[in-house]
Homo-oligomer: A and B are copies of this chain.
Amino acid sequence: LNQRAVEEARERQARMTKPAGSLGVLEDVSVQLAGLAGECPAPLPEPAAVAVFAADHGVHAQGVTAWPQEVTTQMVHNFLAGGAVVNAFAAQVGAEVTVVDVGVVDDLPAVPGLLPRKIARGTADMTRGPAMTRLQAEYAIEAGIEVARDLVAAGNRCLLTGDMGIANTTASAALVSAFTGRDAAEVTGRGTGVDDAVYEHKVAVVRAALEANRIDVSDPVGVLAAVGGLEHAALAGFILGAAFLRVPVVLDGVIAGAAALAAVALAPDARLACVAGHRSSEPGHSVALEHLGLRPLVDLDLRLGEGSGALLALPLVQSAARALRDVATFEAAGVTQSD
């Protein structure tokens, strides 16, 4: 962060017509945005775009979810038709939706709104070895960086993470365990909602994946390749791309949190571009946020993904920036300060 802009923002927050500190966490957000942009006030984080990275997971074969794999493809069609929650929320808060196929098993049509960046037809089953080759993980990271670059080149001043991939909370749990060292049972959740028996099995599958692969956190690309998904690798790249371009990136739930752990392992400063949009009810997400040192803006028991939690946080981020830009100082407004 640019320290001059950070100090200017802190100083301006103290002169704005409001009690010092009374905007709570949003004061910190405004300071972060100023430091990231290198100017105070920072430009408003709008327009905004959510990129929904879609991919399938070989570990689906292990029976970790009640949803059939083809739902990934069906939901991509739903996104493109405007029928999903991500579409409704994006319309409400004024964000653009872009869907990126980085690894869906099925063929997808060439239509507007869908970026074809398929690296592979899903990952391999991570309980039997690496989910991806190293090259596939690198290609996916590169695809994510390029999506960030293209969305910013198109004029966006705020990026939001989205994801779709049946079984991707299983891969997320493995990534969170790998990067934080926490046990599989502490970071595995019920995802879209599985019963006790499937949940126990899911924990065992995460543990099996971590045992079937050599995990070396000093090699984040290797960890992504071993137990990640193609959308996790792409999201890691997307976060890195936003950080390189000094554009804030609002993270969605546990999939984004797992990807952010990889991004920050690759480039620690990437954390400074991240805003935690929300806290999902997946336990691995709280572990990831704690490890990243990020405080979520929305905390309403959501567990949907798609970018829904990031979109809900967008108006909060924008309001934080707008207050820093627009609110009058005591001096300018002729308001007496407290003793």
Contact in complex: A319, B327 (CB < 8 Å) = no
Question: Does A218 make an interface contact (CB < 8 A)?
Answer: no
Q: How far is the CB of A170 from chain B (nearest CB, A)?
A: 15
Q: Which residues of B contact A67 (CB under 8 A)?
A: 336, 338-339
User: A254 vs B300: C-alpha distance in the bound complex, in angstroms?
Assistant: 21
Contact in complex: A335, B89 (CB < 8 Å) = no
User: A322 vs B91: C-alpha distance in the bound complex, in angstroms?
Assistant: 9
User: A70 vs B335: C-alpha distance in the bound complex, in angstroms?
Assistant: 9
Also in contact, A89 and B308, with CB within 8 A (given A17-B75, A74-B334) = no
Interface of chain A residues 317 through 339 with chain B (CB within 8 A): 318-319, 322-323, 325-328, 332-336, 338-339
Contact in complex: B319, A88 (CB < 8 Å) = yes
Q: Which residues of B contact A191 (CB under 8 A)?
A: 19
Interface of chain A residues 221 through 264 with chain B (CB within 8 A): none
Contact in complex: A22, B300 (CB < 8 Å) = no
- Listed stretches A48-56, A79-87, A125-133; interface member: A79-87
Contact in complex: B22, A91 (CB < 8 Å) = no
Question: Does A108 make an interface contact (CB < 8 A)?
Answer: no
Contact in complex: B81, A328 (CB < 8 Å) = yes
How many copies of this chain does one complex carry?
2
Question: Does A316 make an interface contact (CB < 8 A)?
Answer: yes
User: A89 vs B315: C-alpha distance in the bound complex, in angstroms?
Assistant: 9
Q: How far is the CB of A320 from chain B (nearest CB, A)?
A: 9
Question: Does A298 make an interface contact (CB < 8 A)?
Answer: yes
Give A16's nearest chain B residue, CB to CB: B85
Contact of A322 among B22, B89, B298, B328 (CB under 8 A): B89
Contact in complex: A83, B17 (CB < 8 Å) = yes
Also in contact, A300 and B25, with CB within 8 A (given A83-B328, A334-B74) = yes
User: A308 vs B193: C-alpha distance in the bound complex, in angstroms?
Assistant: 35
Question: Does A78 make an interface contact (CB < 8 A)?
Answer: yes
Question: Does A20 make an interface contact (CB < 8 A)?
Answer: yes
Q: Mark A133-154, 1 if CB is under 8 A from B, else 0.
A: 0000000000000000000000
Contact in complex: B18, A85 (CB < 8 Å) = yes
Give A314's nearest chain B residue, CB to CB: B315
Contact of A319 among B74, B89, B339 (CB under 8 A): B89
User: A153 vs B77: C-alpha distance in the bound complex, in angstroms?
Assistant: 41
Contact of A281 among B24, B74, B338 (CB under 8 A): B24
Contact in complex: B323, A68 (CB < 8 Å) = no
Question: Does A12 make an interface contact (CB < 8 A)?
Answer: no
User: A119 vs B279: C-alpha distance in the bound complex, in angstroms?
Assistant: 45
User: A83 vs B334: C-alpha distance in the bound complex, in angstroms?
Assistant: 11
Question: Does A301 make an interface contact (CB < 8 A)?
Answer: yes
Q: Which residues of B contact A61 (CB under 8 A)?
A: none
Chain A residues with CB under 8 Å of chain B are 16-26, 65-68, 70-71, 74-75, 77-78, 81-85, 87-89, 91-93, 191-193, 281, 297-304, 308, 311-312, 314-316, 318-319, 322-323, 325-328, 332-336, 338-339
